[in-house]
Amino acid sequence: MNKKKSSEDLVQQVLKVLDYIAVKEGLKPPGIYGVILVEDIPRGKSVVKLNGETAISDNVLIVKRVDDLTRLVVRIAYGYFTLTLLPIAGPQAASLARRLVKEKTWEIMVILSQYVSRKGD
């Protein structure tokens, strides 16, 4: 399997885990259209930069690529939960998302490892 395909598979697995966590927390998953892994976060009118590693644009997450799996998952989760919380929390969505990701990182990684290990069976 090539590196691009395995990255796409990983991102899809991460999104499934985040959907599960969102529902478990009583939140409505945001309907993300895609995740783009980039070397640098682009600038543009429709790009909302959340921090130096994550941005959102029309329900697409733009995430700065990193080799460390946990850091990549945290970046994706941060954008995901910011989009999830935006309709109900408005300007506080990013800070609430940051707190939620901090609280749930371990759980996300455990569930993700279970998905990955089951896929390998």
Query: Is the pLDDT assigned to residue 2 strictly greater than 70?
Result: no
Task: Please tell me the distance from the alpha carbon of residue 104 to that of residue 114, in angstroms, as a whole number.
Answer: 16
Tokens representing residue 4 in the block: 């691009």
Rounded average pLDDT over 38-66: 92
Which residue type sits at 74?
A: V
Dihedrals φ, ψ of 53, to 5°? Answer: -115, -15
How much is the pLDDT for 120? Answer: 57
DSSP-derived pairing of the beta strands 60-64 and 34-38: parallel
Between residues 3 and 107, the one the model is more confident about: 107
**Digit-coded pLDDT (tens) for 82-99:** 999 999 999 999 999 999
- What is the C-alpha to C-alpha distance for residues 46 and 104, in angstroms, rounded to an integer? 29
Give the confidence band of 117 by pLDDT, cuts at 50, 70, 90: confident
| Pairwise CA distance, residues 115 & 95, whole Å | 28
